A = this chain, B = another copy of it.
Amino acid sequence: MISKEILPQQYKFSEKKIDVFFDADFSLIEAKLQKDKTIFITDENVYAAHKEKFSGWQSIVIKAGEQFKNQQTVDLIIQHLIDLHADRQAFIVGIGGGVITDIAGFVASIYMRGVKFAFVPTSILAMVDASIGGKNGIDVGVYKNLVGVINHPEFLLYDYSFLETLPDHEWVNGFAEIIKHACIKDSEMFQLLEKRSIAKFQQSSEDTASIIKRNVDIKYNVVANDEQETGERKLLNFGHTIGHAIENESKLPHGHAISIGMVAACHISEMINDFSKADTRRISDLLGKYELPVSFTSDKEKTWEILLHDKKKSGINMSFVVLDSIGKASIKSLPLDQLHKIFNSI
């Protein structure tokens, strides 16, 4: 029997074409890459849960967690690459969640001034967000993604069997970004999410595959229209300006932090953009339904200080993403003073 050939969907960023294999089997890697030139980068959790997939491949396994998304881990990976005699023909595959795709993409972009790479996202978050758009990088101290480049992988492979071992809290984390996409771009998906729940998605691989594909398309379209983040791409920061600061201050998981950040951004939207209180309530209810926190618990003054250093800051004004309605967002440039006052009042 001849196995069916899987045809990728093609996404294009500037000059670069990226093949995306949705609903593919991990073994497709063998057809695409040579074992002696390929190096997998993954974390201990993914490796432990899927050992059989790594058998026979050169693999660099790093510790799991955002706290290892730093220069020390980059140094360690580069030392491994040297030890493996990786040359300019090396091909790096990042297999894991957002931390792995961010760090693998960054290392591949700087090792020997850039070798080719691909991603196999294994978490909802990485599938719908982190692995699309070419942003990669590491944290420096409290500053998220302070160092990195923009560079796209050769291909993305979606093997949903990885989700079977994904912990529940990682489903929650990922749905925060899905709800964000709904808020800024897709009111129909917002309604769909209101009818479902994480448990329901976990029970239906078809629904999960479909919602993932829908979110990849949303993110892809936004990024492809504005790769350098001068306009529309900034909308993806909805909930993230405050969210990242909360994440730093409180060490909450990314999804939790941006969930609180989104609710805060809704309140700010009410105040400066006539966004309706009722819609803030709908968003807050939906986040709650997906087991995400919605109230501010971290130290506000510390959070503000970190926010001030946030990399989106540009002089005395700050770009801030507000909602016009559910499914439609825009960017306001606010004086920092005014934002500080509003922030303290919510």
Contacts and interface: CB of A to CB of B under 8 A. Distances in A.
A112 B315 contact: no
Contact of A88 (B89, B145, B309, B311): B311
A82 B112 contact: no
A88 B147 contact: no
Interface string A68-101: 0001000100100010010111000000000000
A111 interface: yes
Interface of A: 71, 75, 78, 82, 85, 87-89, 109-114, 135, 137, 140-141, 143, 145-150, 309, 311-315
A75 B135 CA distance: 20
Contacts of A311: 87-88, 112
Contacts of A313: 87
A113 B309 contact: no
Copies per assembly? 2
A141 B82 CA distance: 10
A114 B149 contact: yes
A110 B148 contact: yes
Q: Which 9 A-B pairs have CB atoms at the shortest separation, nearest pair first?
A: A113-B148, A110-B147, A112-B311, A87-B313, A113-B150, A89-B314, A113-B149, A87-B314, A110-B149
Contact of A112 (B75, B88, B89, B146): B146
A82 B311 CA distance: 10
B82 A75 contact: no
16 contacts: A78-B140, A78-B146, A78-B147, A82-B141, A82-B309, A85-B309, A87-B311, A87-B314, A89-B314, A109-B149, A110-B137, A110-B147, A112-B311, A113-B149, A114-B149, A149-B149
